[in-house]
Amino acid sequence: MTTRTKDLQNIRPIIASAKVYDSMSFEEAFQNKTLRPIIKMQHDLFVAVFNNYIGKRKNVFYDLSVQKQLAYIDNAIHKDMKFRNSVKGMIIGQFTVEEYELYIQNSSALNKRMMNIVKERLIGSIQLFIKPEVLKAV
């Protein structure tokens, strides 16, 4: 095992509920063994990136109802290809070479899984997307 592989695997959080069984599909096993720990590790970065995404789009997110904010997150993850590819890159960049070789065998199905996990994490953290206070001159 290369140093990079060991280092990447050592910094990932352990998710006790992310079990891998012989009876699982390849995609589900890859999700639990690789995707979920990486996405959990990158969570703070995803929150920061999404806050930046909101700001670059004139902060309209803050004026939306909660239901429309959820749709906004879904739209960003599933329809904004630039944002989606950026998020995918943050995840794929944490793969070992061996994991990348497995990933490219069925990237389409794995991309769907990773985007859904990221979307659910952002939705679960919606309280972190609070309108920044504007400093007022005294």
The SS3 assignment for 9 reads helix
Residue 47 tokens read as 């929150």
What residues contact residue 25 under an 8 Å CB cut-off, 6+ apart?
A: none
How high is the pLDDT of residue 10? 96
Over residues 13-36, the pLDDT tens digits come to 999 888 888 889 999 999 999 999
How high is the pLDDT of residue 18? 81
DSSP state of 12: S
Q: For residue 112, which phi and psi values (nearest 5 degrees)?
A: -60, -45
Those residues of the chain that have pLDDT short of 50 are: 135
